[in-house]
Amino acid sequence: MFRKILIANRGEIAVRILRACRELGIQTVSVYSEVDRTSLHVLLADEAYLIGPAASRESYLRIDKLMDVAKKSGCDALHPGYGFLAENAALPRACTDAGITFIGPSAEAMEAMGSKTAGKQLARRANVPTVPGTSDPIENPEDAQALAQNMGYPVLLKAIAGGGGKGMRVVPSDAAFRSAWRDAASEALNAFGDPRVFLEKYLIGPRHIEIQILADAHGRCVSLGERECSVQRRHQKVVEEAPSPVVTPELRRKMGDAAVRLGRAGGYVNAGTVEFLVDADLNFYFLEVNTRLQVEHPVTEQVTGLDLVKLQIAIAAGHRLPFAWETITPRGHAMEVRLYAEDPDNSFFPSPGKIISFRAPTGPGIRIDDGVYEGWTVPMDYDPLLSKLIAWGNSREETIARLRRALDEYTITGIRTNVSLFRRILTEPEFLRGEIRTTWLDEMLARPYPPAAPPRPGTEEAALIAAALWHSAQSNASAPGGTEPQPAPSPWKMEGRRQQMDHLP
Amino acid sequence: MFRKILIANRGEIAVRILRACRELGIQTVSVYSEVDRTSLHVLLADEAYLIGPAASRESYLRIDKLMDVAKKSGCDALHPGYGFLAENAALPRACTDAGITFIGPSAEAMEAMGSKTAGKQLARRANVPTVPGTSDPIENPEDAQALAQNMGYPVLLKAIAGGGGKGMRVVPSDAAFRSAWRDAASEALNAFGDPRVFLEKYLIGPRHIEIQILADAHGRCVSLGERECSVQRRHQKVVEEAPSPVVTPELRRKMGDAAVRLGRAGGYVNAGTVEFLVDADLNFYFLEVNTRLQVEHPVTEQVTGLDLVKLQIAIAAGHRLPFAWETITPRGHAMEVRLYAEDPDNSFFPSPGKIISFRAPTGPGIRIDDGVYEGWTVPMDYDPLLSKLIAWGNSREETIARLRRALDEYTITGIRTNVSLFRRILTEPEFLRGEIRTTWLDEMLARPYPPAAPPRPGTEEAALIAAALWHSAQSNASAPGGTEPQPAPSPWKMEGRRQQMDHLP
Amino acid sequence: MKFEIQLTGPGVKRKHVVRLERNGDACSSVAIDGEAIDANAVQIAPNAISVMLGGQSFEIHVSRSVNGALKLHCGAHEFSADIIDPRAWRGRKHGPVEVEGRQEILAPMPGKVVRLLAAVGDAVEAGQGLVVVEAMKMQNEIRSPKSGKLERLLVREGQNVNAGEALAWVE
Amino acid sequence: MKFEIQLTGPGVKRKHVVRLERNGDACSSVAIDGEAIDANAVQIAPNAISVMLGGQSFEIHVSRSVNGALKLHCGAHEFSADIIDPRAWRGRKHGPVEVEGRQEILAPMPGKVVRLLAAVGDAVEAGQGLVVVEAMKMQNEIRSPKSGKLERLLVREGQNVNAGEALAWVE
C-alpha cells in the first residue's frame, strides 16, 4: 500500500480523497493556490504546499509544480480527483516518468476511451450500442434520405466539421428532409468551409443514465450498477440518484455488461463511468466514457456500501477486486444534490464570498461531502460547488423525504446557494414520479414559478420581529461601547472580498 | 397516520424524533424548560411550549403539563424518547385518559417487563435463560452450599432486602462458602434488619449484549439482531456496536428467538430491548427489558437500514410491520460513541458552558445524531450527552478507522468533551480484537496512561506560534480601537454561565 | 424601541410599525402596528434569531443584501425588509435610495469586468446586456432594467468589482 | 512582536521566546528562541489557527483554561501555554500566579455547592474531599491537592459557582 498520496485537486473532492487516505493510514499532501491557503483541503491534510496564484493554469493545472511537490514531499502516488487534470493523459505520463503511481487509468486507456470520437469507435468495436447513424459524411441527399427513412424520424443532421450547434438540424419528418439538408449543408459551408454532413437518430427526451465500472490490473472488471443523472441545468448535472426509477434488473444487467465489455476492450483499469442516453423505449446508446471518479460517485457508494476512493487506491496499489459483479447487491435508494454558491433567484449568478454562518444537517440517512466551513471565504476563481448533500433511504420516497428534511435544516448566510432550486425540484410531480429527462429541468425553469405555498401564519410577524431585533443588535454593536456579540458587519465582508480580489491576476 | 406529535423530551433524542416526524410529514410540538429556550429541539420544532423551570421534576417530569400542552396544541400522539418519563407507566395511562396515542408499549406491558424482578419472572415463564440461582431466600447454609456446588463456583450471595452492595459477597470456592454466608447474612441483618440471602451464579467478565425487538399490534414480533454494549464506564454504556464481535449466526438466532418469546409473553407492542449478559462460553442470561427506544438504536439502524423511530410511529398508528425476521439482513458494521460534555483528563467532571466553536465531521460512513450547535450554552441541569457519533463500514476495521478519522475532525471549544477517551479506546489492542467485557473500560481507566505517541515533529513549534498569534489578536481586540474579529472573551462565557445559574432553584 | 419596517415577500409588501423591548440578546413585549402580541425572540447566532409566536417556533436567518436591505430567510420563504431606525431619524442624511427615473445598476456578485457591451450615451433597451462580469468560471451578463440612455459607466474592462458596487447608470 | 511563552505538554515544559510579525489575521516571519523558521499562520475562526510549518499543516484550537493559561489542542495532543506579553511588562502588576505553599482550590466546572466536607481550621490530607459540587446530575468531590490546613472556605452550601471560581485555600 502507498505511504503518502498527493491530492492534485481542491474543494470537496480533495477532502473526500483525504478522508479515504486517513482511514487507510496513508499520509496526505495537498496543494493550494494563493486564495486557497485556508481551504478545508489544506487544513485537513498532513502536508500542504503552495503551487501558485489563483488562476488554475498557473497552479492546479501545472503538472511540473505537482511533480515538484510530489518529489519534495516523498509521495509515492497521486490522486487527480475530477476536473482540472483528471482526464489529461499528460498527468499519468508525468507520474510514470517521476516514478509515482497515478491513481486512475493508464494514459493509453484515457486516450482510447476519453475522447468522444475515440470512445465511440471503441464502443462500436465492443458491440456497445451507439446512437444509430453514420459517422462518415454522406455524399448525396438521396442516400441520406433513404437512410433516414430506414432509421425512422426524427433524425439529426450534423456538420462533419461542426461544433456549437452550427450546421445542425433536427428533421421531424420525411417531408422536411430535403430543405433541412440544404440548410444544414449551406450553414456548414458558411461556418466551416465544409458542407459535408452526417446523420444520427434524434432521441426524443432521452435520459442520462451511467454505469459505474471498476477494473483491477488482474483482469477483473465489474459494474456497480447505474446512476440516473437526467436532472441537468444546461448540460450540468444537479441531482443524481441510484438506482434509476426506470431501470429494470434486466436492463441493469444489459447496460452493465455493455459497460464492462467496453472497459475490457479499452484495457481499462481503475474506476470509470460509461455514460448512456436511454430513450423512452429503454433502448440505451453509448454517449461517452469518463475516465475518472465522478462528482456523483457517492450515490453508488450509498447503495452498494463500497468506498470507491479506497477501491481506486487499492486497485492502483495492484490489489485484486475482492468481489464479483454478482455479489454486489444494491440496497435502498440514494440521491445527491449539488449545493452551489449561486443564486437561483437571480439568473444563477455565482455568489462567492465569506460564509458568515453555516449549519449543516445531520441525522439518519444523511451524508455530506463538504469542502467549506463557517468563516471561510469562497473564492471566486473556481467552480462554485460547495458541498454535496446525499440522502439514503429504504425507498425513493423515503430518500426524497430525507433530502427535503435536510435541505430545510441546511442554513448558510453570507453567500447565496441553490438550495431553493432543490426545494422546488423535490416537490415537482414529474420528478416525484421519476418522469425526468435531460431537458426536464431547463423546461421546468422556463415555466413560470408555480404560486408558492403561502408561509404558515405568523411568518410575516416573525420576520418583522427578527428584523427589528437584529437591526437593533447591529446598531448597538457598532455604537461605541456596544456590548453585543459582534456579527461580522457587511463592510468586513466587503473588505474580505476586496483582499481576495487583489490576488487576482 | 398521526397529524401532530408531542415530543416529551429534550436534547439529541428529541431532535432525532423530530426529524423522523418531519420526514413523515407529521407536525411536531416540543416542550422546554426555562434553560432550554434556545435548544436545538426547540428551534427545529414547528411548535414549542415552555413547561417550567430547569429542574426536571418541575418541567420534563410533569405529566400534567405535558397533557396540557398536548391538548392545547392538538397533538394526537406523544413520543417519550428515552429517560425522563419514558418508562413510567403513568405516562401511557395519562395519554389514554387524554385520548392521545402513546408511542411505546402499553402501561401493562411496561409494568410486566420493565422492572427487574417482574422481567425476571416473565423470562422464566417464557423459558428465557436467566442467571442461575434462586430468587427466594434459602433458609439454611447446607442447602445453599449444595446448590452452589451444583451450580459451580464462583457464586454470588445477595441479600433479599439488599441494595447498594450491602449484604453481597462473591464466593470464589467451596472452602470460602461458610464464612461468606455468615458475613453476608450478618451484614444484611445490620443493614436491613433482615438476614435472608439468596444465591446466584457469578458471571466472570460477562459481556453486555442486547437484542432489539419490534412488535406490532397484529401479533408480529421480530428481532433486529444484537448490539454489543460491553464498553461501559461505571455501568454507563459509552461505545456500542452491531454486530457483536462474538455473536455467531447461531447465537444470534437463539438470542433473537429468546427475546421475541419474551416480548410475546409480555404482550409487548412497539420497540423494545432485551438485555443479556453473555459469559465467556457464550451462554446468555436475561438481564432486563428496556421498554423504550435506546440511546444506541442508531447502530441497529445503520446495519439494518431501518428507521426505528418511524417504525415506532407506524406501529403506534396501528400499521403492520412490513417485514419478517428472516428478511432482515444486517449489512456491514456500525459503531457509536457517546460524546459527553465531561473532561476525561479531570475525573470526568461535567463541563457545561457555551460552545464557542464547533465543527462536526461528515463524509462517507459518518452519521451524527446531534443536539447542540455553535453558540449554544450547554446547560448544567441535564445529562451531559451532546451528540452521538456513529460510523458505518464494510467491516469492523473500516468502521473503527472511520470513527477515528471522524474523531480527529471533531472540534469543539468552550467546553470539554470526552473525545480523547474514545481516541484511547479505539487504539487499545484488546478493543481492536473485540475482547471486551463490562468491566473492561473501568479496568483500562485504572491502568496508568500508556506513554502517548509523541506528537509529530513541529507540533510544539506550531502550538507556540498559535499561542502567540491568538494572544496578540485577543489583545488587539480588547484594546480600544482593535479591529480584529472578536473571539468571545472568557468573561462573556463566565457571564453566560452566571446568568444560567440564576435560573437554578 | 420602535421601528418602521417595509416588509416585502411572497405576495406581501406593507409597512409596519414594530415596537419591542430588548433585554440583552432577547426581546419580549412586542407590538406590531400598535397591537400587543404574544411573542419573544432571542438571537441564537450572529445571523440567526429564534422567534416564538404563540407556540409557533420560527428560526430566521438574517443577512444584508447588496442594496442594504435585510434579507430574512424563514425556511423556504424569504422576505426583504427596509428599516427606518428611530435613532437614524435624528440627523439622518438620506432615506432608502429610491432614485426616480435613473436606475443604478449594481454588481450582483463580486467578479471581474471582462467586457463592456454598450458605451456612454448609447440608447439601451430593457434587458439589453451592459456589462459582462466573470466569476467562478462563468460569464454573467448584467442587463439594463429599463429602456433609456446609458448615462454613466462606472467600471472599465479588467476591473475587479465587489457585490453591490455600482456598474452603470441608466437614465 | 515578542512573546515569552511557557509551554507545557506531553513530556514538555520549557520557556520559549517567540517573535512574529502580524499582518491582519495572519503572521509570517517567525522566529523561535532567536532562530528564524519557515512558518506562516492564519486565524481561520475565532478560536482556531492554521499553522504551516515547512509543508506540515497544523490546525490548532485555542481556548482559555480556568486558571487563565491557554489550552492548545492539536489533534489528539494538548498543550498549555502561559504567555508573558511584552506590553504587559510595562506596569504589570503580577506574574503568573505561583503562590508558594498556599494552594487555591478552583471549581473545575460550574455548578452548585451541595456539601462542605471540612471546616476552616481542619487538618486535611492530600486527596481528601473538601467540597461537593453538583452539575449535570453528577456530584463531584473537589479534593485537596496537598496535606495541610484548610485556611479559608470561600463558598457556602447551596451557592452556585462558576468554573475557575476559588472554593477554598489550603495552607
For residue B345, what is the enclosing H or E element? none
- Same domain, yes or no, for C63 and C9? yes
Q: Do chains A and D touch (3 or more CB pairs under 8 A)?
A: yes
Residues C7 and C43 in one domain: yes
Same domain flag for C9 and C62? yes
**Closest chain B residue by Cα to residue D109:** B351
- CATH code (residue B145): 3.30.1490.20
What value does the mean pLDDT take over residues A64-80? Answer: 98
Instruction: Assess whether C77 and C113 both reside in one domain.
Output: no
Cell of A82: 475530477
Is B344 found in the same domain as B327?
Answer: no
Interface contacts (B, D; CB < 8 Å): 195
CA distance B171 to B145: 11
- Examine residue B311 and state whether it is found in any structural domain, yes or no: yes
Q: Which neighbouring-strand residues pair with B221?
A: B215
More confident residue, A210 or A190: A210
Least confident of A234-243, A288-297, D3-12: D3-12
Same domain, C7 and C62: yes
| Chain B interface includes C45 (CB < 8 A) | yes
B292 is catalytic: yes
Range of the domain at B368: 333-444
- Cα of B365 to nearest chain A Cα, Å: 8
Q: In what helix (H) or strand (E) does residue A47 lie, and over which residues does it extend?
A: strand A47-52
Residue A469 has pLDDT above 60, yes or no: yes
User: How many domains, chain A?
Assistant: 5
Within a domain: B141: yes
**In whole angstroms, how far apart are CA D52 and each of A53, B458, D9, D36, D62?**
18, 10, 20, 14, 16
Q: Are residues B246 and B302 in the same domain?
A: yes
Q: Is C79 exposed, middle or buried (0-12, 13-18, 19+ CB in 10 A)?
A: buried
Domain contains A453: no
Whether the per-residue pLDDT at A478 is higher than 70: the answer is no
Indicate if D111 and D147 belong to the same structural domain.
yes
Contact A343, A351 (CB under 8 A): yes
| A27 has a pLDDT exceeding 50 | yes
Please tell me whether residues A223 and A343 are part of one structural domain. no
Using CB atoms, which chains have 3+ pairs under 8 A with A?
B, C, D
Contact between C8 and A463 (Cβ < 8 Å): no
Pick from A207-221, B321-335, D3-17: least confident:
B321-335
Q: Which of the four pLDDT bands, split at 50, 70 and 90, describes residue A376?
A: very high
Of the residues B270, B302, B331, which one is the last residue of a structural domain? B331
A339 near A388, Cβ under 8 Å? yes
pLDDT for position A46? 97
Question: Residue D90 falls within a domain, yes or no?
Answer: no
Domain boundary residue among C84, C116, C141?
C84
Taking a C-beta distance cutoff of 8 angstroms, is the pair B313, B270 a contact?
no
What's C166's domain CATH number?
2.40.50.100
CB contact (8 A) between residue C76 and residue A423: yes
| C78 and C6 within one domain | yes
Q: Do both A79 and A165 map to the same domain?
A: no
Instruction: Give yes or no: residues D18 and D62 share one domain.
Output: yes
Q: Which domain holds residue C35?
A: 2-84
Report how far residue C93's alpha carbon sits from residue B8's, in angstroms, rounded to the nearest whole number: 53
What pLDDT score was predicted for residue D87? 56
The secondary element (H helix, E strand) that includes residue B369 is strand B366-370
- Residues in A closer than 8 angstroms to B368, CB to CB, are 362-363
B119 with B257, same domain: the answer is yes
Residue B36 belongs to domain with CATH number? 3.40.50.20
* HSE-up (13 A, CA, CB side) for residue C4: 9
Query: Would strands B333-340 and B236-242 be described as parallel, antiparallel, or unpaired?
Result: antiparallel
Residue C90 lies inside a defined structural domain of this protein: no
pLDDT in tens, B277-316: 999 999 999 999 999 999 999 999 999 999 999 999 999 9
D41–B472 CB contact, under 8 Å: no
Query: Residue B171 domain-assigned?
Result: yes
Pick from C42, C55, C59: which is nearest to B49 by CB? C55
CATH number at residue B304: 3.30.470.20
Q: Assign D46 a pLDDT band (cuts: 50, 70, 90).
A: confident
Is the pLDDT at A55 greater than 60? The verdict is yes
Q: Is residue D96 part of a domain?
A: no
- Which of A4, A23, A301 best tests the B interface by mutation, with the highest count of B CBs <10 A? A23
Residues B322 and B215 both lie in one domain: yes
What does the buried/exposed string (b/e) look like for B153-186 if buried means 16 or more CB atoms within 10 Å of the residue's CB? bebbbbbbbbeeeebbbebeeeeebeebbeebbe
- Which 86-115 residues of chain C touch chain A by CB within 8 A? 87, 108-112
Computed over every residue of chain A, the mean pLDDT equals 90
- Where is average pLDDT lowest: A475-479, B25-29, B128-132, D97-101? D97-101
Q: Are residues A223 and A325 located together in one domain of the fold? A: yes
Q: Which of A357, A476, A486, A490 is nearest to B486 (CA)?
A: A486
Domain CATH number, residue D59: 3.30.700.30
Do C66 and C12 belong to one domain? yes
Residue D72 lies inside a defined structural domain of this protein: yes
pLDDT level of residue A235 (50, 70, 90 thresholds):
confident
pLDDT at A501 over 50: no
pLDDT at A345: 80
Tell me whether D55 touches chain A (CB under 8 Å).
yes
For residue A454, being part of any structural domain is answered with: no
- The answer to whether residue D97 scores a pLDDT higher than 70 is no
- Judge if D80 and D6 occupy the same domain: yes
Give the per-residue pLDDT at C85: 62
Residues B263 and B384 in one domain: no
pLDDT tens for residues A397-449?
999 999 999 999 999 988 989 999 999 999 999 999 999 999 999 999 999 87
Query: Low-confidence residues of chain B, pLDDT below 70?
Result: 162-165, 325-326, 476-505
Contact A362 B373 (CB under 8 A): no
Q: Is residue C74 part of a domain?
A: yes
Q: Is D37 among the domain residues?
A: yes
- Asked whether residue C8 falls in the same domain as residue C74, the answer is yes
Examine the domain organization and report whether B168 and B113 are in the same domain: no
* pLDDT by 10s per residue, chain C, length 171: 889 999 998 778 889 999 998 888 888 789 999 999 999 999 998 889 999 999 999 999 998 876 778 989 888 888 999 988 655 544 333 433 333 467 888 887 788 898 899 999 999 988 788 998 888 877 788 888 888 899 899 999 989 888 788 899 888
Looking at D84, D118, D137, the residue that finishes a domain is D84
Rounded Cα gap, residues B203 and B156, in angstroms: 9
**Residue that is last in its domain, among D84, D114, D148:** D84
Q: What is the side-by-side order of every strand in the sheet holding C103-106?
A: C103-106, C166-170, C148-153, C123-124
User: Is A451 within a domain?
Assistant: no
Residue B481: count of CB within 10 angstroms of its CB = 5
B348 with B269, same domain: the answer is no
Last residue of a domain, one of B201, B224, B242: B201
- Using CB atoms, pick whichever of B23, B366, B370 lies closest to residue A405: B23
Residue C98 confidence (pLDDT): 36
Q: Enter the ipTM.
A: 0.84
Q: Please identify, among A172, A201, A230, the residue that sits at the C-terminal boundary of a domain.
A: A201
* B212 lies in the same domain as B315: yes
Please pick, among B169, B227, B292, B437, the residue that the annotation labels catalytic: B292
Taking contacts as CB-CB distances below 8 angstroms, the residues of chain C near B48 are 52, 55, 57
Q: Nearest residue of D to residue B487 by CA position?
A: D46
Distance of alpha carbon A14 from alpha carbon A19, whole angstroms: 9
Would you say residue B292 lies in a domain? yes
* pLDDT of res. C55: 95
Residue range B418-439, pLDDT digits in tens: 999 999 999 999 999 999 999 9
Report field, pTM of the whole predicted structure over 0.80: yes
CB A274 within 8 A of CB A210: yes
- Report yes or no: A66 and A98 within 8 Å, Cβ to Cβ: no
pLDDT computed for residue C163 by the predictor: 79
Mean pLDDT for A27-46 is 97
* Number of domains chain D contains: 2
Nearest CA in chain A to C15: A464
In a domain, D93, yes or no: no
How much is the pLDDT for A472?
A: 87
Q: Is residue D6 part of a domain?
A: yes
pLDDT, mean of residues D96-114: 72
Are D88 and D123 within 8 A, CB to CB?
A: no
C119 near C153, Cβ under 8 Å? yes
Same-domain status, A274 and A408: no
What does R_g of chain A's alpha carbons equal in angstroms? Answer: 25
In a domain, B454, yes or no: no
Question: What number of other Cβ atoms are within 10 A of residue C136's Cβ?
Answer: 23
**Are C19 and C78 within one domain?**
yes
Cell reading at B390: 456513529
